[in-house]
Structures are given as structure tokens and as C-alpha cells.
Amino acid sequence: MKRVEKFIVFIILVGLGLSFYFINSLQKEIITLKNELSETYYTLAKARQNEAKILNHAVIFLVKSTPTDFFLVPVNREISEELTPFTALNCLLLGPLPTENWLASVPSTTKLIGLSIFEGLATVNFSNEIQIDFNGGALLESLMIQAIVNTLTEFPEIKSVQILVNGEVVESIGGHIFIAEPLSRNNN
């Protein structure tokens, strides 16, 4: 009987050893799967975050030139930062991309000094390059003013725009269009 008892004890010990081996293997597999799942969640969260950044679109207005006329055209710009009136205006100041056949609506040397919004009025302050480097007639000046106003009024919180040059109200940028008072969007 001792031999049978020893055999049973041996079988139980082998069974326990195998059980511990399989449990240990399963625990390692669970830890590996948890780590992979954690990495997958992290990668997915980063991808969603990057996708959210890419999905911001600013609508800016650039100039289309034909042999006989100029027109203002809305252009979508993808931006990787938060979409605000300030970022949209900066996109406008960057002008057309090298691959686009549009003309800049604002002189490329113009800098955005500041922008404030209060009770539907956006007050935008440009550097004096907007006047110094503007070389166009009444039509191009009108399109430039409309491009600024239309870009800002794409935001529902903005109803009108006051343009300043170096912090001062000016009568005109190029001598043709009166801008000393707030301007509203012109959908024509």
C-alpha cells in the first residue's frame, strides 16, 4: 500500500506543479495582454488627438484674378491648432499656399498686432505695413477689407469689425474705402 500511496502523492505533486506552471504562464500572458491593451489605448488616444487637431478648418478669403476682374473667394485652411478668430486671421495673413492660384488679399508683410472681441464687435489691430505695402486701386482695397471682415464674421460671436492700424482708427487703408467705423459682412 505504501507504493500506491507514494504514487498518489507523486501524481498530486506533479498535478500541483503543472497547475502552478500553467497559472504562472496565464498570469504572464494576462500581464502581457494588459500592457498591449494599454499601449493600444494610448496609441488610439494619440491618433484621436491628432485627428482632432487636423479637423480644424478656417475659412479665409483670397483674391481670384481673371484677365478682366478680381473676385473674393472663400478658401478652407486646415489648421492644427485651436480654431479662433486670431488663428483664422493669421491664416489670412499667410495668403495663398504655393500650390494655389489665388492672390493674397492682404499685403504679406502685414502683422497682426492684436484682436479683441466685445459684444459682437471684433477690433483688429494691424501693423502699418497694411497701408505702406498696399498697392491697389479701389477694387482691391474693397476686396481686402471684405476679406478681413468676412474671415472674422465666419465666427458667430462676431457681427462687425473695426480695423485699426498701429492701434489707431484710420479713415482708409489705400485712400478709397472708408473704414473709420465698424464694418459688417457684405455677402455680395
Alpha carbon 109 to its chain centroid, in Å, reads: 22
The pLDDT score that the predictor gives to residue 186 is 79
What would the pLDDT profile of 45-66 be if each residue is shown by its tens digit? Answer: 555 555 544 568 999 999 999 9
What would the pLDDT profile of 84-100 be if each residue is shown by its tens digit? Answer: 999 999 999 999 999 99
What is d(CA 90, CA 81) in angstroms, rounded to the nearest whole number?
A: 12
Beta bridge partners of 116: 123
The pLDDT score that the predictor gives to residue 41 is 55
CB atoms within 10 A of CB 14: 10
Looking at residues 146-153, what average pLDDT do you find?
Answer: 97
Regarding predicted confidence, which is higher, 19 or 131? Answer: 131
pTM of the entire predicted model? 0.71
Q: Domain-by-domain residue ranges, the chain? A: 56-184
Q: Which three cell numbers stand for residue 182?
A: 465698424
The pLDDT score that the predictor gives to residue 17 is 75
Q: Around 87, how many Cα atoms within 13 Å sit in the side-chain half-sphere?
A: 14
Handedness of CA 143, 130, 168, 174 (dihedral sign): negative
